[in-house]
């Protein structure tokens, strides 16, 4: 279990401490800003993977980062100097993120009041470096422990919520990953099915259903 990895727990604690000492003491505001950073990293990684898959299969693919949007990638701006990075994210990356699915999409409507309020370049670059460490540690854990049923973003986010619950700030309860996996196998969702989770918290069951469908299709060679 990723939650039993002491190095991962240490990095989560380190990230929380950086935000608190950096001027963001409200835990909900902190997790909101951390979520934005994780999302920036994941859309870059997923876009890169889809591009590689399309090159392998010969299917057409249009990147989210076509043309001059290439500079909006996490892999690009993480190499910038701290002050330049902060300005670039504030002025370019975050507005792009808010309008990612088009002006009239539900995503954009939900993001219309979102604000990027990391106050200093030093906090930003320290946070980005810790998130990079987090993902390296998760991938290492997955490789060494043989975890195949995981969603990296979901695991990190659930651990962050776990820190809030542990501190008694805003209790959230996550369903253990093996229980989610068992229930997905019992329900056996298929491509095209609608999956609902009326008590959705961190989205663990929805992620579990999605990964079950993807794994089933891979097994069937589809």
User: In the structure encoding, which two tokens stand for residue 91, read together?
Assistant: 């002025």
For the ranges 47-56, 66-75, 101-110, 151-160, the maximum mean pLDDT occurs at 66-75
Between 180 and 14, the higher pLDDT residue = 14
The pLDDT of residue 149: 43
Contact between 18 and 126 under an 8 Å Cβ cutoff? The reply is: yes
The pLDDT of residue 146: 64
What is the pTM assigned to this prediction? 0.72
Q: Quote the CA–CA distance of 204 and 9 in Å, as a whole number.
A: 19
The pLDDT of residue 221: 59
Over 70: is that where the pLDDT of 68 sits?
yes
Where b means 16+ CB within 10 Å and e means fewer, 166-199 reads eeeeeeeebeebeebbeebeeeebeeeeeeeeee
The pLDDT of residue 13: 86
The pLDDT of residue 107: 80
Counting residues of the chain whose pLDDT is more than 70, the rounded percentage is: 83
pLDDT digits (tens, 9 = 90+) for 150-187: 555 566 677 777 766 655 554 455 677 778 888 888 99
Arithmetic mean of pLDDT over the chain: 83
Counting residues of the chain whose pLDDT is more than 90, the rounded percentage is: 30
Contact between 98 and 114 under an 8 Å Cβ cutoff? The reply is: yes
Contact between 72 and 65 under an 8 Å Cβ cutoff? The reply is: yes
Over 70: is that where the pLDDT of 82 sits?
yes
What domains can you pick out in the chain, each with its CATH number?
2-149 (1.20.1260.30)
The pLDDT of residue 158: 74
Between 110 and 177, the higher pLDDT residue = 110
Between 149 and 162, the higher pLDDT residue = 162
Helix or strand or coil: residue 217?
A: helix
């Amino acid at each position: 279990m990723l939650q039993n990895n002491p190095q991962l727990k240490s990095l989560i604690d380190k990230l929380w401490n950086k935000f608190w000492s950096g001027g963001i003491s409200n835990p909900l505001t902190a997790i909101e800003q951390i979520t934005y950073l994780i999302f920036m990293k994941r859309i870059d990684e997923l876009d890169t993977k889809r591009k590689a898959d399309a090159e392998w299969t010969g299917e057409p693919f249009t990147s989210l980062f076509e043309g001059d949007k290439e500079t909006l990638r996490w892999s690009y701006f993480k190499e910038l100097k701290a002050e330049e990075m902060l300005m670039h994210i504030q002025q370019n990356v975050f507005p792009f993120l808010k309008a990612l699915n088009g002006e009239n999409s539900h995503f954009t409507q939900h993001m219309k009041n979102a604000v990027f309020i990391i106050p200093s370049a030093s906090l930003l670059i320290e946070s980005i470096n810790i998130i990079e460490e987090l993902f390296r540690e998760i991938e290492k854990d997955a490789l060494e422990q043989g975890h195949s049923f995981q969603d990296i973003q979901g695991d990190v986010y659930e651990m962050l919520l776990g820190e809030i619950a542990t501190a008694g700030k805003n209790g959230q309860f996550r369903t253990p990953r093996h229980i989610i996996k068992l229930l997905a196998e019992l329900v056996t969702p298929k491509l095209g099915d609608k999956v609902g989770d009326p008590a959705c918290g961190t989205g663990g069951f929805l992620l579990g259903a999605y990964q079950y469908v993807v794994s089933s299709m891979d097994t069937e060679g589809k």
